[in-house]
Amino acid sequence: MTLFNQYYPPNSTAFNGLVNDQVKSALDEDIGTGDLTALLVPASQVVTATIIVRETAIICGIPWVNACFNQVDAHVKINWQVAEGERAQANQVLCEISGPARSLLTSERCALNFLQTLSATATETSKYVGAITGTQAQILDTRKTIPNWRLAQKYAVTVGGGYNQRLALYDGILIKENHIAAAGSIGAVMAQAFALNSGKTIQIEVENLQQLQEALEAGATSILLDNFSTALLCEAVNLNKQSGKRAVLEASGGITLENVREIALTGIDRISIGSITKNIQAIDLSMRVKTLAR
């Protein structure tokens, strides 16, 4: 089970509350005091519309799309032709929507924003997951997310087959170079982390093999290897084995689709990648309306 699902199990009150809150905020931002352009359409006009994907993608964000239309108008009906997490092909119809024209037009942009962005994260994640098939490594996200979209993007990573590194600062301790510098040493900062008795995971980032050895000696059980070359990752894995496999090792920094498999084959346990949430290209989607009788 991913961290996201521990906090927000699918279809739970927590999950539905998260979706509804994010959608309300997005609609408030977009509509404000009212959709002036929608007033150009007769109030009695009823239409159907389809959402079409223009490129191959892992579809993610269906709960957010449903909430966008339903919060604007509970009478809108949506018939999905794909499931959450399903791979869709270019020019495939994803769903058919019917209801008052004004409601569909007012909801359109927010719904597509969620769908194109979350599908992008899920699709990019799935590429990395596919690239390391057959290795022991897992693909993880980072905190490099779109502001206020953190949890939605963390969810999208799981839909794409990845895992969550941690949801936020409250969800685990990650000791980086500035924490080490402020505390004085790896041993000192690790001792302080253990003394918190937070009940959360404690991970420390190291930049070379000497720091890795210090972290292992300080009792670290989760270590982030920052910008290690492939050769150094192999040495780090061997060093960890010599110490009795004390720690879960995670590679981070400079990871691309071109080198991720090579990194995974070093025997590393986890690979965290910021680009799956911060360097994404929105999936090309469009909504097309067909007019029905008034």
| C-alpha distances out from residue 106 to 28, 29, 32, 41, 102, Å | 11, 12, 11, 11, 6
d(CA 180, CA 187) in angstroms, rounded, equals 9
Q: Token pair of 202, please?
A: 């404690």
| 46 strand-pairing partners | 100
Q: Which amino acid is at 1?
A: M
CB distance 205 to 176 below 8 Å: yes
d(CA 293, CA 74) in angstroms, rounded, equals 20
- Is 226 a residue of the active site? yes
Q: Which of 143, 150, 176, 261 is catalytic?
A: 176
- Is 258 a residue of the active site? no
- Is 250 a residue of the active site? no
Q: Which of 226, 235, 246, 278 is catalytic?
A: 226
- Is 28 a residue of the active site? no
- Is 246 a residue of the active site? no
Q: Which of 127, 144, 150, 261 is catalytic?
A: 144
The alpha carbon of residue 187 and the mean position of all alpha carbons in its chain are separated, in whole angstroms, by: 33
Q: Cα 158–112–163 angle (5° rounding)?
A: 10
Q: Which of 35, 108, 124, 205 is catalytic?
A: 205
d(CA 114, CA 102) in angstroms, rounded, equals 20
Enclosing H/E stretch for 260: helix 260-264
Q: Which of 55, 73, 86, 109 is catalytic?
A: 109
Provide the annotated active-site residues.
Answer: 109, 144, 176, 205, 226
